[in-house]
Structure formats: C-alpha cells, structure tokens
C-alpha cells in the first residue's frame, strides 16, 4: 500500500524545528483539497505555537468559507501588501496541492527567488522542480490524505485536533466526489477513519459543502444540463458551456458551477466530459474522463493546462464558440481512447 515515507516525515520534522514563521501556499481558484490541506497545516502549526500563515492566490468560493481557520486566510490578489510582508519574513514554505509555479499566478514572482526551504506535498503528475523537499504521490486520493499521513507521522499518536481533521476531510470528500472516484486505495479509508476518530462531524461537513447553495445555482445547473449539453456520440463525448450573459442571468457567484462538468459522465457511453465557461478575459476549460482517457494530456496540449488523468483544467484565449470548435476538432486525436472505452 502506498503511504508516506519515514524519511519525508523526518525531513519535515527537522525543518519545523528550525522555523517559526511558516507560510503555506496553494493554487489559484483553490478547491476543497487546496483549502483543506492548506488550512489543516495552518491549524496544526498554530496549535504547535508556530507563527503560520495560509496564503491563497485569489478569492475562494462560498462553499468553503466556513472551514476552521478560513477567516485568517490571506488572499494575495486582494491583500498584496500584507501577503508580501509575510512572505518576506517567512523562514519555511509549504506548497500544497499544486506542483507548477504557474498555478500560483502573480504570487509566484515573490516566491521564485526566495532562498528558504520549500516543501511540496502534492498528488498531481510531473512535478516541476520548485521545492527542496518533495512528497509527490499520484496514487493519493487527495493532498489531504498525504497531509493526514504526515501529521499522523509527526505526532506518532493519532492526536489530530477536530479542526485539523475537519479540514482534511473536506479535501478527501471533494477530491473523491464523496468517495466515488480516486478512492480505491485502503490508505484513503484509513485516513478517513483517523479523521472520524479525531471527532469530526462528517454529516455536517457534507452538508456545508453540498447543501449550501443558492436557488439560482440549482436553476443554473438545470439550465446547463437541459439546454446547453451537447453529445457527440461517435466520440463518447459530452460538453457544456456557459456564456457571461447566462452567468449574469442566474446571478452567478464564484463556485456555483463547481462539479457541473461531472454530470455528463453519468450518461452511459460517455468517456469524456468538457465544460467551457466564459470569463472576462478568457474561457476556463474543465475536463473529466473515465478509464485511461488522459484528460490532462488533452488540456496540456491544447488548453495551456494540466491536472490528473481523469480531471484536468486549462484555459483558452479564443471566444467561447471558437474554443468549442477547437475542442471538437481535436477529438479525432484521441480516437484510440474512445475505442478502448467501447471495447
Ligand atoms: P477544475 O476543472 O476543477 O478546475 O480542475 C481539475 C483539475 O485540473 C484540478 O486537479 C486542477 O489542479 C487541475 N487544473 C485546473 N486548472 C488548471 C490549469 O490551468 N493548469 C493546470 N496545470 N492544472 C489545472
Ligand atoms: Mn487535489
């Protein structure tokens, strides 16, 4: 069973002994795993008496705005001066849930040249060489699973606080779609069991994440699936899109379209699902796939993005319609994966 190495845990222990001012960074548009792993580390370090700060590149979505410690999170984009003062005094950096400097957006300019120890904990493929100490495990369900093992190893005695365990559970739940994908490794359930032992209220967490949306959001979901989903049967593909005008019509709030891209995969015979969302200066692209279809390669090669085999994201500078046309035109490149799925 894949699990954390003792060597990594001991390296982290040694670094923690040397540093008091510690900053944790995660990727732009932070999702549940990014916020979960970052806030878990933040809370843990605070409990240990360290002066820790969690910085996110841009604002987070409402569905995560209740997490323990979230009120102390610094948003780089809106609080640049404060973030830069903190970064300048930092003695140790943690990178969680990303492995490419581009995922930090503008915050990367302040990080890249810093001559201080950098520790990366992440589960995305092909890590870039941006940290001194790296724990990368593609088979992990989530970065939260890895942080759980780290903290458990550091403590040796299963004494995570309820706050830390609550944050970690958010990442496992969201990155596995409530234990439906990326969760066939016993390590994932052992981590979840440890969190339950720490006293988390799992039902409360699920309720906060999934049952806390606006009426507009549910109507937007209905509109998107009913009126905007296009199926391309010969390529086992479905895609959805939302223009800025449609978003305005449904009073779109950040995070409202979270998870939309997963729904078309529930149709029999669909192997690839894509979602194109128009933004002010680009089109945000999301891809989800089944089996061995490499959504990350598709995104990396054509949409300046990346991610996991079955969940990837990217962007396009073309118009919404041109982006959709481009997407349709590249599908033949991936024909063998559609055929594999049919076999
Ligand atoms: P989502 O579709 O939810 O935005 O992203 C799905 C997955 O793809 C996430 O694991 C995320 O880390 C990754 N991802 C999303 N956007 C980008 C991007 O612009 N670049 C890269 N390299 N990965 C991305
Ligand atoms: Mn993740």
Report pLDDT for 2: 75
pLDDT digits (tens, 9 = 90+) for 285-299: 999 999 999 999 999
What average pLDDT is seen over the chain?
A: 95
Nearest CA to ligand 1 atom 15: 313
Ligand 1 in contact with 308 (CB < 6 A)?
yes
Q: In degrees, to the nearest 5, what angle opens at C-alpha 36 toward C-alphas 62 and 79?
A: 60
* 27, 38 contact by CB (below 8 A): no
Q: Report the separation in Å between the CA atom of 41 and the middle of ligand 2, taken as the mean of its atom positions.
A: 15
Instruction: List all residues 6 or more positions away from 136 whose beta carbon is below 8 Å from its beta carbon.
Output: 99, 120, 122, 123, 124, 127
Beta strand ranges found along 57-202 (DSSP E)? 74-75, 92-96, 118-122, 133-136
Ligand nearest to the CA of 259: 1
pLDDT digits (tens, 9 = 90+) for 109-127: 889 889 999 999 999 999 9
Instruction: List all residues 6 or more positions away from 4 whose beta carbon is below 8 Å from its beta carbon.
Output: 135, 137, 146, 149, 150, 153
Q: Is the pLDDT of residue 263 over 70?
A: yes
pLDDT digits (tens, 9 = 90+) for 225-235: 999 999 999 99
Q: Which residues are placed with Cβ below 5 angstroms of ligand 2, an ion?
A: 33, 97, 143, 175
Q: What is the CA radius of gyration of the chain?
A: 20
Pure H helices in 89-160? 108-111, 143-155
pLDDT-based confidence at residue 342 (cuts at 50, 70, 90) = low
| Distance, CA of 119 to CA of 286 (rounded, Å) | 28
User: β-strand 92-96 against 230-232: which pairing, if any?
Assistant: unpaired
Nearest CA to ligand 1 atom 8: 312
* 307, 296 contact by CB (below 8 A): yes
Q: In degrees, to the nearest 5, what angle opens at C-alpha 287 toward C-alphas 308 and 222?
A: 135
Atom of ligand 1 at shortest range from CA of 100? 22
Report pLDDT for 343: 61
Q: Which of 122, 307, 311, 316 to mutate for ligand 1's pocket (most ligand atoms within 8 Å of CB)?
A: 307
What share of the chain has pLDDT > 70, as a percent?
98
Ligand 1 in contact with 306 (CB < 6 A)?
yes
Classify 215-342 by CATH class.
Answer: alpha beta
pLDDT digits (tens, 9 = 90+) for 161-186: 999 999 999 999 999 999 999 999 99
Ligand nearest to the CA of 32: 2
Report pLDDT for 100: 95
Report pLDDT for 282: 98
* 97, 68 contact by CB (below 8 A): no
Domain layout of the chain by residue ranges: 6-210, 215-342
Q: Report the separation in Å between the CA atom of 27 and the middle of ligand 2, taken as the mean of its atom positions.
A: 10
Ligand 1 in contact with 314 (CB < 6 A)?
yes
* Mean pLDDT of the 268-272 span: 97
Q: Is the pLDDT of residue 276 over 70?
A: yes
Ligand 1 in contact with 312 (CB < 6 A)?
yes
Report pLDDT for 38: 98
- Three-state DSSP at 142 gives coil
* 225, 263 contact by CB (below 8 A): yes
| Distance, CA of 323 to CA of 304 (rounded, Å) | 13
pLDDT-based confidence at residue 159 (cuts at 50, 70, 90) = confident
Ligand 1 in contact with 38 (CB < 6 A)?
no
Atom of ligand 1 at shortest range from CA of 31? 3
**Fold for domain 6-210?**
inorganic pyrophosphatase (n-terminal core) (3.90.1640)
Nearest CA to ligand 1 atom 11: 307
| Distance, CA of 123 to CA of 145 (rounded, Å) | 10
Sign of CA dihedral 115, 27, 2, 48: positive
What share of the chain has pLDDT > 90, as a percent?
93
pLDDT digits (tens, 9 = 90+) for 22-77: 999 999 999 999 999 999 999 999 999 999 999 999 999 999 999 999 999 999 99
Report pLDDT for 112: 87
Report pLDDT for 338: 83
Backbone dihedral angles phi then psi of residue 140, each to the nearest 5 degrees:
-70, 145
DSSP secondary structure string, 192-255? HHHHHHTT--HHHHHHHHHS---HHHHHHHHHHHHHS-EEEGGGTEEEEEE-HHHHHHTT--TT
Q: Report the separation in Å between the CA atom of 157 and the middle of ligand 1, taken as the mean of its atom positions.
A: 35
pLDDT digits (tens, 9 = 90+) for 76-118: 999 999 999 999 999 999 999 999 999 999 889 889 889 999 9
Report pLDDT for 161: 97
Q: How many CA atoms lie within 13 A of 113 on its CB side?
A: 3
Q: Report the separation in Å between the CA atom of 292 and the middle of ligand 2, taken as the mean of its atom positions.
A: 19
* Mean pLDDT of the 264-271 span: 97
Q: Report the separation in Å between the CA atom of 292 and the middle of ligand 1, taken as the mean of its atom positions.
A: 18
Report pLDDT for 1: 63
Q: How many residues are there in the chain?
A: 343
* Mean pLDDT of the 196-201 span: 97
Nearest CA to ligand 1 atom 17: 313
Nearest CA to ligand 1 atom 4: 313
């Amino acid at each position: 069973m894949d699990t954390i190495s003792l060597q990594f845990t001991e390296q982290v222990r040694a670094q923690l002994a040397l540093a008091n001012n510690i900053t944790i960074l995660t990727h732009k548009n932070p999702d549940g795993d990014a916020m979960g792993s970052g806030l878990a580390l933040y809370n843990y370090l605070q409990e240990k008496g360290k002066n820790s700060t969690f910085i996110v590149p841009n604002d987070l979505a409402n569905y995560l705005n209740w997490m323990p410690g979230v009120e102390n999170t610094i948003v780089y984009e809106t609080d640049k001066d404060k973030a830069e003062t903190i970064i300048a005094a930092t003695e140790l950096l943690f990178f969680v849930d990303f492995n490419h400097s581009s995922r930090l957006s503008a915050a990367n300019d302040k990080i890249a040249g810093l001559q201080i120890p950098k520790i990366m904990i992440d589960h995305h493929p092909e890590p870039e060489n941006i940290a001194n100490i790296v724990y990368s495990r593609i088979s992990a369900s989530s970065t939260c699973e890895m942080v759980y093992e780290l903290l458990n190893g550091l403590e040796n005695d299963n004494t995570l606080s309820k706050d830390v365990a609550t944050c970690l559970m958010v990442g496992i739940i969201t990155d596995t779609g409530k234990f439906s994908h990326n969760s066939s490794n016993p390590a994932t359930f052992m981590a979840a069991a440890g969190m339950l032992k720490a006293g988390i209220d799992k039902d409360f967490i699920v309720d906060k994440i999934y049952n806390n949306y606006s009426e507009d959001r549910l109507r937007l979901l209905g509109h998107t699936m009913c009126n905007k989903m296009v199926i391309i049967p010969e390529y086992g593909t479905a895609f959805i899109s939302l223009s800025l005008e449609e978003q305005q019509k449904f009073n779109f709030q950040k995070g409202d379209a979270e998870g939309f891209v997963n729904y078309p995969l529930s149709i029999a015979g669909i192997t690839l699902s894509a979602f194109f969302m128009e933004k002010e200066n680009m089109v945000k692209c999301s891809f989800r796939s089944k089996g061995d279809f490499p959504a990350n390669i598709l995104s990396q090669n054509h949409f300046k993005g990346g991610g996991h085999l079955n969940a990837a994201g990217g962007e396009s500078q073309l118009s919404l319609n041109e982006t959709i046309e481009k997407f349709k035109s590249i599908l033949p490149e991936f024909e063998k994966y559609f055929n594999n799925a049919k076999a």
